[in-house]
Amino acid sequence: MGTCKEKYRYLNGFNSYHESEAVEGALPIGANSPQKPPYGLYAEKLSGTAFTAPRHENQQTWLYRILPSCGHSNFEPRESSTYNTNPENKPYEKIHHIPNQLRWDPFDLDKTVDWVHSLHLVAGAGDPTMKSGLGIYIYAAGKDMAAHEAFYSSDGDFLIVPQHGALDIQTEMGHLLVRPNEICVIPRGIKYRVTLPAGPVRGYILELYQGHFSLPELGPIGSNCLANARDFQAPVATFEEDTSTSWTILCKFAGHLFAASQTHSPFDVVAWHGLYYPYKYDLGRFNTIGSVSFDHPDPSIYTVLTAQSDRPGTAIADFVIFPPRWLVAEDTFRPPWYHRNTMSEFMGLIHGQYDAKTGGGFQPAGASLHNVMSGHGPDATTHEKASNAGLKPSKVGDGSMAFMFESCLMVGVTEWGLSKCKKVQKDYNAESWEPLKPHFKRPGKIENGAGDVREEGVEGDKAQVPHWTA
């Protein structure tokens, strides 16, 4: 994988009110829309929430640009028979709601397409026209977007998780360089152009059709840890002065592609201020918390970003990571426990090996989906190993980064995800869990009459420290 050194400057802070000007004095002072904005710029407001959204949710940004966004030709449908990222667009893309555990082999790189055409909807729930739910995509591209093209999604916020290659993203607010082990969020409506400075790219996207991401509450953890607010990075204003070239604006609207043309660069924002902007985050900065006594807490302690439903604590989407970390818990089965969940769990692997699976079937650039109430957990080999392992402090996940998109919604799988991509492993369950053996032994020796004596089961030690104090 080509490495790519950081080349941009950023503004630090999550949900911070930022302001940035590429030319000193371009931001009006004390007013948003003066009769004549500085330097003859146009003022344009970009609303990421309703005007009247509560103050703690309200996200608006003022842009000071050479020309406003509205000057363009009509949008016309593009590639309407082939481009489809709309979960409701039956029959082109039938959605399969199935309870099976699913696992995918690594998705292929594709050097023939650019960012816009690299998006494959794998799974999702809800409907962008109702602003409800989410979509999960795999992207794989090998070409820069054309020199005078920009893209935006009207459907939701993109949370982009690169697995391979670097994304150089020019946005209306400025540039972001996003590499594997970093993530970025590009909110609904913000125009951007993606180039690939280190060759082909591949990764995962969660598109949030409703609301925006926030940092999880920390409760008794206190005021720091997990993803700290200061580590989120927003671009600084950068602009192009181009009012003569023909530009194509591509728009994903209800899952379909549209294009309009205009004779000015959409990247002409000289200054901006507000709360609605793209940002990136380096997963290496995540301050991981875990048990220092026994058991391990719910994986919610690994939540980087969350998008809450109307019910507090219940997420439309949680973005959760499994970073390298120390396991020190005593008398504890250290891998994740066996589990059935009212939430759906889509997992991916950026690099390395995930500690709950040893069979080799969950690989970087692959994925798994454990849908609502579908049982999952360590595979038989991992269970066997972990049940007998010495419990010295040990580091897991060294050089590895797995992640999960967890949702309270039942996730349907697209035709592409289930069959066209040809990556679904037919033997996931058979390999992982069907080999699990019973270890149950009743108390007392039992003879079966044929001379076989079963071993006596071992009672839980009620005097054990530190689990019981009786």
Closer of 78 and 325 to Fe ion (Cβ): 325
Q: What sign has the CA pseudo-torsion 141, 191, 168, 61?
A: negative
What phi-psi label fits residue 39: left (phi over 0), alpha (psi between -120 and 50 degrees) or beta?
left
Q: CB of residue 439 vs Fe ion: minimum separation in angstroms?
A: 22
Q: CB of residue 366 vs Fe ion: minimum separation in angstroms?
A: 17
If one asks whether residue 131 binds Fe ion (CB under 5 A), the answer comes out as no
Closer of 345 and 355 to Fe ion (Cβ): 345
Residue 296 falls in the annotated catalytic set? yes
- Among 35-43, 287-295, 317-325, 342-350, which window interacts with Fe ion (CB under 5 A)? 342-350
- In the shown chain, the binding pattern of residues 285 to 324 toward Fe ion, with x for contact by CB under 5 A and - for none, equals ----------------------------------------
Closer of 250 and 369 to Fe ion (Cβ): 369
Residue 152 assigned ligand-binding role? no
- Among 121-129, 141-149, 235-243, 340-348, which window interacts with Fe ion (CB under 5 A)? 340-348
Closer of 78 and 339 to Fe ion (Cβ): 339
Which residues in the 343-372 window bind Fe ion by CB under 5 A? Answer: 345
Task: Using alpha carbons, list the distances in angstroms from residue 182 to 156, 174, 177, 354.
Answer: 20, 17, 9, 18
Q: CB of residue 339 vs Fe ion: minimum separation in angstroms?
A: 4
- For Fe ion, the nearest residue by Cβ is 339
Count of other CB atoms within 10 angstroms of residue 271:
25
Q: 405 φ, ψ to 5°?
A: -100, 110
Q: In the chain, helix, strand, coil percent, each to 5? A: 10, 35, 55
Task: Using alpha carbons, list the distances in angstroms from residue 192 to 110, 130, 145, 151, 408.
Answer: 21, 24, 10, 5, 30
Size of the site for Fe ion (CB under 5 A): 3
CB 429 within 8 A of CB 417: no
CB 331 within 8 A of CB 337: no
Q: What sign has the CA pseudo-torsion 121, 123, 124, 127?
A: positive
For 227, how many CA atoms within 13 A lie in the half-sphere containing its CB? Answer: 31
Closer of 126 and 378 to Fe ion (Cβ): 378
Q: CB of residue 302 vs Fe ion: minimum separation in angstroms?
A: 12
Residue 354 assigned ligand-binding role? yes
Closer of 46 and 206 to Fe ion (Cβ): 206
User: Cα 44 vs. chain centroid, distance in angstroms?
Assistant: 29
| Whole-number Å distance between alpha carbons of 66 and 303 | 40
Q: CB of residue 341 vs Fe ion: minimum separation in angstroms?
A: 5
- Among 62-70, 277-285, 334-342, 385-393, which window interacts with Fe ion (CB under 5 A)? 334-342
- Among 40-48, 134-142, 341-349, 456-464, which window interacts with Fe ion (CB under 5 A)? 341-349
Say which residue the tokens 């009110």 belong to. Answer: 17
The answer for residues whose C-beta is within 8 angstroms of residue 159's C-beta and 6 or more apart is: 183, 184, 185, 205, 206, 207, 208, 213, 305, 317, 319
* Among 296, 351, 383, 439, the one annotated catalytic: 296
Q: CB of residue 369 vs Fe ion: minimum separation in angstroms?
A: 11
User: Cα 28 vs. chain centroid, distance in angstroms?
Assistant: 36
Q: Which of 339, 351, 385, 467 binds Fe ion (CB under 5 A)?
A: 339
Residues of the binding site: 339, 345, 354, 376
Residues in the site for Fe ion, rule: CB under 5 A?
Answer: 339, 341, 345
**Catalytic positions, written as ranges:** 296
Residues of the binding site for homogentisate: 354, 376
Residues of the binding site for Fe cation: 339, 345, 376
